[in-house]
Amino acid sequence: MNDPRATTLISAADLSARIAASHSLVVLDISADLAAAPLDRDVIPGAIAVGLAGDIAGPSSKEGGNRPLPDIATLQAKVRSWGVNDDTLVVVYDNLSGSQASRAWWTLRWAGHKNVRLLDGGFKAWQAASMATTATPAVAPGGGTATLSAGNMPVIDADQSADIAQTGVLIDSRGAAAFVGEADKPNTGHIPGAISSPSAVNIGPDGLFKSTEELKAGFAALGADGSKPLGVYCGSGIAAAHTIAAMHAAGLDAPLYVGSWSAWSADPARPVEQGEG
């Protein structure tokens, strides 16, 4: 399958058909932090509840930011506990903007599991299609044999992000207010030279990703057409992963600054720019 959109996204109808056909499939319901906010909502039948903080990312740190990369052996053990083999299709979704699920999608691809799809429109699209839901997530079955390896998606660090902001296109995927910053808070604002493009601009009024043509046009308007160095960051590498998913759907690619603003702003030596840029 060479269609980049089809290898990035899956529709609610297609997911329902795959579930009915009993394909080798694992569905993950992604929340920000199940330890801090236990799941209290319906899920797609058969979905396993997963917390981004505890299951997908590593422990937060000043250098790595709020959602750093996980230890690959720890992640592999988690993935195997979900019953994932190397050929298993993994579908991830969340109940919010899609950013939490996008970071799960990105991390699994970074770890070498390419057969992962993001549910277009998330749980809201599933509900809008009048699909069945359940109040009880599935129990992780264990027994998976997936073999993971780090480094299969490109990443950049703070220094590389600073350079791309000056020589190429560094996209800030946070909301506009976070990008602008607050005058009385010197650690707010953005990386000097970055361009504001909130991840939400890639979603249409129906809650689904915009068409491939619209996505390409939007990124081209930012100068993100592959002709210059690209990079994407946000607060802690979550909304940025959503932007990268949109890029992948449009046949583009860009590295993620995983630590993002949470790591950048923790270093007082890093310059900060405020305003609309």
pLDDT in tens, 17-73: 999 997 789 999 999 999 999 999 999 999 999 999 999 999 999 999 999 999 999
Please give the Cα distance from 16 to 227 (Å, whole number).
Answer: 39
pLDDT score of 225: 86
| DSSP-assigned states of every residue in the chain | ---TTTTTEE-HHHHHHHHHTT-SEEEEEEES-TTTS---S-B-TTPEEEEIIIIIS---BTTTBSSPPPPHHHHHHHHHHTT--TT-EEEEE-SSSSHHHHHHHHHHHHTT---EEEETTHHHHHHHTT---BSSPPPP---------S-SS-EE-HHHHHHHHHHSEEEE-S-HHHHH-BTTBTT-SB-TT-EE--GGGGB-TTSSBPPHHHHHHHHHHTT-SSSS-EEEE-SSSSHHHHHHHHHHHTT----EESSHHHHHTT-TTS--B-S--
What is the identity of the amino acid at 202? N
pTM over 0.95: yes
pLDDT score of 253: 94
- Long-range contacts made by residues 69-72, C-beta under 8 angstroms, separation at least 24? 69/107, 69/110, 69/150, 69/155, 69/258, 70/107, 72/111, 72/148, 72/149, 72/150
Question: 188 pLDDT band (50/70/90 cuts)?
Answer: very high
Q: What is the mean pLDDT of residues 100-107?
A: 98
pLDDT above 90 coverage of the chain, percent = 96
For residue 123, pLDDT over 90 is answered with yes
Q: What is the mean pLDDT of residues 244-271?
A: 97
Which residues are catalytic, by number? Answer: 234
Q: What is the mean pLDDT of residues 184-198?
A: 96
For residue 1, pLDDT over 60 is answered with no
From residue 4, alpha-carbon distances to 1, 38, 116, 139, 248 in Å are: 8, 34, 12, 32, 6
Buried b (16+ CB within 10 A) or exposed e, 232-251: bbbbbbbbbbbbbbbbbbbb
Pairing relationship of beta strands 9-10 and 25-31 according to DSSP bridges: unpaired
Residue-wise pLDDT tens digits, 205-256: 999 999 999 999 999 999 998 889 999 999 999 999 999 999 999 999 999 9
Listed in sequence order, the residues at least 6 apart from 79 whose beta carbon sits closer than 8 Å to its beta carbon are: 108, 111, 113, 144, 146, 148
Asked if 123 and 93 count as a contact pair (C-beta separation under 8 A), the reply is yes
